[in-house]
Structure formats: C-alpha cells, structure tokens
C-alpha cells in the first residue's frame, strides 16, 4: 500500500509526537485521581468543591482527552508504518492490552468527574488513593513491552 510506505520517512517524528502525547496523557492520569482524593474531603457545594470541579473538568477536557486521542491516532499511525511492529511477536499484544486498560481507566475517571460535578461522591478517599497507582502499573507494563519486548 503506497499510503503506508509513505509513512516511513516520518517514523521518528510520529514516534516523538506519540511519546509527547503519552506523557501528557499520563500526567493527567496521575493527577486526576489525586484531585479526587482531595475532592472527596471537600464538602458538597463548598467553594473548595467548586474549585475542584473546575480543575477536574479543565484537566480532563483540555489536557487528558486531547492527549489520549493524539496518543491513539499517532500509535495507530506507528503500527501502520512499515517495520514498526513485528506482527509475529507477542509483546505488542500485551502493550495493546495495557493501552486498552489505560483507556478504560481514563473512562472511569471521566465518569467519576461527572459524578463529582453533580455533587456525588462516587468512591471513598481511600479508593482514589489506591487507584492512583493504576497508571503507574500500566506504564511499567507498556514500557517494558515496547523497550524490552520480552516475547
């Protein structure tokens, strides 16, 4: 396919932009659950709660959503680039599973943001402290799969 071959000269640029998008997305995935920890402590309807609602909405809409979309589009572009993926290797399956889990986690955080904005407390402070570690675990899996390619 000529379109796929045309991607080859842009491989390093695509890879660089993909990593920048992933870094921005990860920053949000690390920070938003932490905001939820503090938001869980704020009284519903308080000025502090309203501030958290604004911060959470801006973080999700202005940084996380665009970064996730860019990471996905650039990642798809990378896999369409000749030679970027050995389709017989198993590492990319594990990486894809990690990225799908990360996307699901992003969706979970998005649903929770809407609940917080509606004055609900969807989970406890303790829950948000625990799930704050999920992005780190997924990041470790994904990076090891891409760099080490253990299988």
pLDDT, tens digit (0-9, with 9 covering 90-100), for 31-69: 999 999 999 999 999 999 999 999 999 999 999 999 999
What global pTM score does this model have? 0.93
Closest CA to 4 of 43, 14, 129: 14
DSSP per-residue codes, 97-113: HHHHHHHHHHHHHHHHH
The Cα 118–Cα 44 span in angstroms is 9
């Amino acid at each position: 396919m000529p379109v796929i071959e045309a991607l080859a000269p842009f491989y390093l640029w695509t890879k660089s932009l993909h990593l920048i998008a992933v870094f921005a997305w990860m920053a949000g995935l690390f920070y938003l659950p932490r905001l939820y920890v503090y938001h869980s402590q704020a009284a519903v309807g308080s000025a502090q709660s309203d501030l958290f609602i604004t911060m959470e909405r801006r973080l999700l809409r202005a940084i996380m959503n665009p970064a996730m979309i860019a990471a996905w589009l650039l990642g798809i572009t990378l896999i369409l680039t000749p030679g970027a993926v050995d389709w017989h290797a198993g590492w990319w399956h594990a990486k894809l599973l990690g990225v799908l889990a990360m996307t699901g986690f992003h969706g979970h955080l998005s649903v929770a943001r809407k609940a917080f904005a509606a004055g609900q407390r969807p989970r406890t402070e303790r829950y948000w402290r625990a799930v704050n570690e999920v992005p780190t675990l997924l990041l470790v899996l994904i990076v090891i799969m891409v760099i080490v390619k253990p299988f």
